[in-house]
Amino acid sequence: MQPFTTLTSTALPLRTENVDTDQIIPARYLTAVTQEGMGDGLFSWWRYSRDGSPNPDFVLNQPQYQGSEILVAGRNFGIGSSREHAVWALTQYGFRAVISPAFADIFYNNSLKNGLLPIRLPEATVRSLLDLVEELSKTSICIDLQNQTVTLPGLLDGETSDAETSWSFDIDPFRKHCLLRGLDDLGYLLDKEEQISAFEAAVSL
């Protein structure tokens, strides 16, 4: 799993609220047991027309948002079934963080276990970010996991100013530790192999 320390990227705006995991990745993709190719199915109901061609009206297909590693989404993102494939689809497409006012609990925890950083910010803040990213698609958002901040350079008439706006976000200390070091649950245990071996040797005496 790739460590997450800091990230500076443009963002893709998705205003839709109550996006469920079936909308993130349809059920037909759930037969896969690996993450490979999951990005192709991301938001496929909206992303592709009935003939399989890209839907030019959907934000994921709009050229100004190509390469964005941050998704700014509406409230209650990731509701519905507990499919881990929804997180796989987002990470395989290239997203490393999702900003929303609220997440479904299971999706939130699945994200943290798979290297995707879910960030809760106040609804008014997220609406402002959506407005800004829609108006100025080249806007960069800076995420600092160690300091738990989201920072936005001040923009005036499309140009960067000296001002900055910053918001703090909460995260479980254990999950923060794992993300900073690129450890999933198994990786965390393997990282403690020396201590585990020492403990086993001590109790066997």
Query: DSSP secondary structure string, 110-127?
Result: HHHHTT-EEEE--HHHHH
Q: Tell whether the model's pLDDT for residue 182 goes beyond 50.
A: yes
3-state secondary structure of 199: helix
Between residues 56 and 204, the one the model is more confident about:
56
The mean pLDDT value of the chain amounts to 88
Beta bridge partners, 141, equal 9
Cα-Cα-Cα-Cα dihedral sign, residues 63, 66, 72, 77 = positive
pTM for this structure?
0.87
CB of 78 within 8 A of CB of 103? Answer: yes
CATH topology of domain 6-203: Aconitase; domain 4 (3.20.19)
CB of 27 within 8 A of CB of 45? Answer: no
Tokens representing 163 are: 């001002």
The share of the chain scoring above pLDDT 90, in percent, equals 73
Mean per-residue pLDDT, 64-90: 95
Beta bridge partners, 160, equal 155
Confidence of residue 161 (pLDDT cuts 50, 70, 90): very low
pLDDT for the residue 99 = 98
Distance, CA of 25 to CA of 151 (rounded, Å): 30
**Residue 67: Cβ-neighbour burial (10 angstroms; 0-12, 13-18, 19+):** exposed
Confidence of residue 205 (pLDDT cuts 50, 70, 90): low
Confidence of residue 36 (pLDDT cuts 50, 70, 90): confident
Distance, CA of 12 to CA of 8 (rounded, Å): 13
Q: Tell whether the model's pLDDT for residue 19 goes beyond 50.
A: yes
CA-nearest of 89, 47, 90, 96 to 70 is 96
Q: Tell whether the model's pLDDT for residue 157 goes beyond 50.
A: no
